[in-house]
Amino acid sequence: MFKSSSKEGTTYSLACIGLEGHVEVSLKSLLGILKNKTSGSWQHSEDINSDVIVYNPASPLAMAMLRRESKPRANGRSAHIFIPCSSEDPGADGLTLPLRADRLLHCLQVATVQLSAAMSTIGATKHASLCERLDGLMQTRDLIAVSITVGNKTGLINPARQMIHWPRSLDADGIAQLIMEDVTLQPLLAADLDKLRHMEQEMHERMPWDAVMWAIGVSTSQARLLPRLDLRKSYKLKRWPDFGPIGRRSSDIKCTALLTHKSLTPPELAAATGMSEARISGFLNACALCGFLEEAQPVSRANPANIHMNSEASIAGGMLQRIRKALALGAN
């Protein structure tokens, strides 16, 4: 979710990684209860790149993100605040299960102080998300690959083969780097074929792109649909996703089960699942990036007048056929 200013101060976002569904519901309820007790405003978000991340220490993706977190990034995003949540005592700055309002309030107050310091010189500017930038390049005419650079590593995305080429195995830590740090994208066109072949020779690892594209879609969408997706159109899935290190979230499973059996518009999917527009946007964007979201063909509705005319024609045709048969029998 985007940050905004209010009379009470800055609005901060909080997301969850690896928590059970009922725990996340409880956390959202407590945020509402504590609404007027914190120095800043807090809202639950579906964006994994939120200000605060409440995580299950058993989640590989959360731990990979935590290892990579160190300082504010050049793109203007403040550093994340990570709050562990488990049945075992995670310490003074963590949450225990079952959740307690006083413990959550303490964690939010500490996070507010840290985020205020980190954001003191940062403006709230809107920019294209990594998901939007990548999807836009994928629509480029004569595209044969996308070069993707993060840190000192450069890899390739091959749309035709739906493959990722990377210098080394792209594990949860590498995917966390992709969704957390500044990423440079460059299209390679048909004229760059020699360059592409040379780059492919330097890439030691090749893998299906599902896990990477899924992570980019659900975690960098900034709570909005890709420009090529239309709220008025219905969509369905060709197959089930590979959820990768993000895991099989109950919300993703519910949306997948629905869209593999019937086509729905984004608002219809949100209404059918009871989920926020932000989570639906991330889910649909991820499916679109992976290439298995397809637009459903509109169902043609027959004109009642035509139906009536066709029925009359059918009746008339049947009568003529019976008359011909009767005449043929009489002639014999």
Q: What is the CATH number of the domain that holds 29?
A: 3.40.50.2300
Q: Give yes or no for a cis peptide into 98 (omega within 30° of 0).
A: yes
* Residue in 242, 142, 130, 119 with CA at minimum distance from that of residue 191: 142
- Beta strands at 9-17 and 5-6: parallel, antiparallel or unpaired: antiparallel
In a domain, residue 311? The reply is: yes
pLDDT at position 76 is 44
In a domain, residue 85? The reply is: yes
Domain range enclosing 199: 130-214
In a domain, residue 235? The reply is: yes
Q: Which residues contact 140 (CB under 8 A, 6 or more apart)?
A: 187, 189
- Checking 94-100 for CB contacts under 8 A at 24+ apart, the result is 95/54, 97/23, 98/26, 99/23, 99/26, 99/27, 99/30
Given 189, 214, 239, which residue is the final one in a domain? 214
Type of residue found at 229: L
Q: Strand pairing partners for 5? A: 10
236 and 208 in a common domain: no
10 and 76 in a common domain: yes
pLDDT at position 314 is 46
Q: Strand pairing partners for 147? A: 156, 186
Q: Which residues contact 54 (CB under 8 A, 6 or more apart)?
A: 14, 15, 16, 17, 19, 27, 83, 84, 85, 95
In a domain, residue 205? The reply is: yes
154 and 176 in a common domain: yes
189 and 150 in a common domain: yes
Residue stretches of the chain with pLDDT short of 70: 1-9, 69-79, 92, 116-126, 298-332
- For 225, the 3-state DSSP assignment is coil
268 and 192 in a common domain: no
Q: Which residues contact 136 (CB under 8 A, 6 or more apart)?
A: 128, 227
Instruction: Note the pTM of the prediction, 2 decimals.
Output: 0.64
Given 95, 118, 141, which residue is the final one in a domain? 118
248 and 167 in a common domain: no
199 and 162 in a common domain: yes
* Residue in 201, 208, 157, 192 with CA at minimum distance from that of residue 178: 157
230 and 209 in a common domain: no
In a domain, residue 114? The reply is: yes
d(CA 19, CA 32): 19
In the chain, the number of structural domains is 4
12 and 114 in a common domain: yes
